[in-house]
Amino acid sequence: MPHTLLLVDDEVKVLEFMEPFLRQEGYHIVTALTGKEALNKAKEHQPAVVVLDWMLPEMNGIDVCKELRKWSRAGVIMVTARAEEADKVIGLEIGADDYMTKPFSLRELSARIRSVIRRLEGRDNVPSAEPPSIQRGELSISEAHCRVSYKGKEVQLTPTEFKLLLTLAAKPGIVYSRLQLLQSALEDDFLNDERTVDAHISRIRRKIEDDPANPTYIQTVYGFGYRFGDRL
């Protein structure tokens, strides 16, 4: 079955620009022109990836992404004409997996979609046997089922957040630079600003740390990067 993509933009010409190419790439395409329509289509079609414009009528892309993150595991790629770093960080902090600035090439968009789907499915290196769950303190991570629980309650993570957490938790005490996390955890075809990792880490901490300002699980190693606590 082909993956379903939900393309959301209030400009019909932009949708007409993306849709034929992505259909040829083998995806099933669903489109929406407004934020509310996007949420309705997402519930109906359960897309693998949502390509979401920032500026939309009725609900902007940020609000749509926030709502999606309450109940959907779909990958989200924000598409916008806003190129400022602060805007990129906002998009990532509210749950987007990637961020593209207009204008962009269709090949780059397709590559980024493939990258998000790989993170979502974890199919790059699927082992023959089901990998064991990782238990660190009160945090449990199931690689096979892409699920995380903390203190017995399931934690909703985006595909990107899950890959980052899994990479760090698999080797407690090992320090990863931001670039290493982009390359090995995210397996990105296009390396973004290394600082975008900080936004993802911040979101993960808010979900699994009792005190995100003084984290136990994901620790900052100043001047180097991040490591997973090895004394849990």
Q: Are 206 and 226 in contact (CB under 8 A)?
A: no
Q: Are 95 and 137 in contact (CB under 8 A)?
A: no
Same domain, residue pair 157 and 79: no
Same domain, residue pair 97 and 143: no
Domain end point (choices 69, 90, 121): 121
Say if residue 228's pLDDT is above 70. yes
- Cα(158)–Cα(164) distance, rounded to whole angstroms? 10
Going by pLDDT thresholds of 50, 70 and 90, the confidence category of residue 128 is very low
Predicted pLDDT at 186? 67
Domain end point (choices 63, 90, 121): 121
Predicted pLDDT at 165? 93
DSSP run (H or E) holding 15: helix 12-24
Query: Domain of 36?
Result: 4-121
Same domain, residue pair 196 and 218: yes
- Cα(39)–Cα(35) distance, rounded to whole angstroms? 6
Q: Count of CB atoms within 10 A of residue 146's CB? A: 17
Output the domain CATH number for residue 214. Answer: 1.10.10.10
Same domain, residue pair 152 and 205: yes
Residue 129 lies in a domain: no
Say if residue 23's pLDDT is above 80. yes
Total domain count for the chain?
2
Closest CA to 186 of 105, 124, 93: 124
Say if residue 93's pLDDT is above 90. no
Same domain, residue pair 224 and 140: yes
Taking only the tens place, the pLDDT of each residue in 155-204 is: 988 888 898 999 999 999 999 998 888 877 766 545 556 777 888 899 99
> How long a stretch of residues is the chain?
232
CA dihedral 195, 189, 155, 35 (to 10 degrees): 90
Residue 107 lies in a domain: yes
Taking only the tens place, the pLDDT of each residue in 142-158 is: 887 778 999 989 998 88
Q: Which two tokens stand for residue 151?
A: 């203190």
Same domain, residue pair 91 and 173: no
Say if residue 84's pLDDT is above 80. no
Strands 139-142, 147-150: parallel, antiparallel or unpaired by DSSP? antiparallel
Count of H helices and E strands in the chain? 8, 12
Say if residue 131's pLDDT is above 70. no
Same domain, residue pair 62 and 153: no
For the whole prediction, is pTM greater than 0.85?
no
Closest CA to 77 of 172, 8, 148: 8
Q: What is the mean pLDDT of residues 2-22?
A: 95
Q: Are 204 and 161 in contact (CB under 8 A)?
A: yes
Going by pLDDT thresholds of 50, 70 and 90, the confidence category of residue 83 is low
Domain end point (choices 60, 89, 121): 121
Say if residue 12's pLDDT is above 90. yes
